[in-house]
Structure formats: C-alpha cells, structure tokens
Amino acid sequence: MAELFESVNWALIAPLIVIQLILQVVALIDWFRIERTNGPKIMWLFIILLLNMIGPILYFVIGRRQE
C-alpha cells in the first residue's frame, strides 16, 4: 500500500479531493439551514459526513424535501 501511495501523483488526485470537500461543505451548510428532510434529519448528517462522494449527492437528490 505504501508503494501505491508513493507512486500516485497527488497533484492529479487533488481536484477530486477538493470537489469532494466542496460538496460535503455545501451539503452541510444546507443541512443546517433546512427545516426538515426526507426521513430523520440526524440520519442525513451521518450520511453526508461518513459516505465519501456519494453521501452529499444522495442528500441533495433524495434528502432535500421538495417543498
């Protein structure tokens, strides 16, 4: 695994991590502001925080209540 870490050019991977972070932060901001979500609100916090990449997307697609 250590070899893999060294062989990876991090400049290439950085954009992925940045995008993932932006998605997560935006989802969190929205999570704080929104009143109710589909399903328990606290559940969505864990989904956003724990599931990489997919978590925030799931939140935006399914979790946000269409008023």
Partner 1 sequence: MQFLTVFKREMLESGRNFKWIWVPLVFILLGLSDPLSTYYLPQIIESVGGLPEGASFEIPTPPPHDVLMMSLAQFSQLGVLVIALMSMGLIAGERKSGVAELVLVKPVKYSTYVSAKWAATSVLVLVSLFAGLLASWYYVNLLFGNISFSNLLATWFFYGLWLLFVISISVFMNSLFKVPGLVGFMTIVLVILTSIMTTVLDHILDWSPAKLSPYIRMMLSEGTISGDLWATALITIGISIGLLAAAIYTFRTKEMA
Contacts 24+ apart (CB under 8 A), 32-38: 34/64, 34/65, 36/65, 37/63, 37/64, 37/65, 38/62, 38/63, 38/64, 38/65
Indicate the residue among 13 and 42 with the shorter CB distance to partner 1. Answer: 13
Indicate the residue among 18 and 42 with the shorter CB distance to partner 1. Answer: 18
Q: In the complex, what is the shortest distance from the CB of residue 66 to partner 1, in angstroms, rounded to a whole number?
A: 4
Contacts with partner 1, residue ranges (CB under 8 A)? 1, 3-4, 7-8, 12-13, 15-16, 19-20, 22-23, 26-27, 30, 53, 56-57, 60-62, 64, 66-67
